[in-house]
Amino acid sequence: MNEKYSVSIRLIHWLMFVLFALIFVLGVVMIEFKETEPWAMYHFHKSTGVVVFLLALLRLVLHFTSKSPSAPAEISTGIYRLSQGVVFLLYLMMILVPISGYALSNLHGYSVDLYGLPLPEFFPKNLNWEKYSSLAHEYLAYSFLGLFLLHLSGVIKHHIQGVEILRRIT
């Protein structure tokens, strides 16, 4: 039997996949319909972003405190190092995208709450940074999407080649 990641890592992995997909699509929809002020979408998007950030922190703790499966023998050292680099960048984006969204809200003068529970304002209102914070959040989110697609391409490539990489996280 192939080695697998721990149940907790596997659950968080797939939960974060669903949540990121949801808030990414919601983010695109919010921008498209911003003239109609879809505030409920913004609140849900921001609250879910906070949950994603907390799950990312938990996932990092679990990543460093639990044993990961060893790389399959069929994967070359170079490809393994590339995949580890992509995973590192994905973890980085899991932290930076929510932080940039939080900053975006605060810098624009909006608070962030967790499904109705008010959260502290970490960034002072500064409309001079409005454009930069919006661009940072957008570019980071699209960078995350690009890294995710690279990650998915690697998984599909290995699956087609018969390497049982996907079973480690399912």
Mean pLDDT for 15-36 is 89
Write down the domain spans for the chain.
7-168
Q: Hey, how many other C-beta atoms are within 10 angstroms of the C-beta on 19?
A: 15
Please write the tens of the pLDDT for every residue from 41-78: 899 999 999 999 999 999 999 999 998 898 888 999 99
Buried b (16+ CB within 10 A) or exposed e, 78-109: eeeeebeebeebbeebbebbbbbbbbbbbbee
Distance CA(21)–CA(159), nearest Å, equals 22
The beta strands (E) that lie in 36-159 are given as: 113-114, 117-118
What is the model's pLDDT at position 1? 46
What is the model's pLDDT at position 35? 67
Spatial contact of 167 and 4, defined as CB atoms under 8 Å apart: yes
What is the model's pLDDT at position 96? 97
Distance CA(61)–CA(72), nearest Å, equals 24
156's torsion region: left (phi>0), alpha (psi -120 to 50) or beta? Answer: alpha
CB neighbour list of residue 166: distance below 8 Å, 6 or more residues apart: 155, 158, 159
Q: Is the pTM of this model over 0.85?
A: yes
Distance CA(24)–CA(146), nearest Å, equals 12
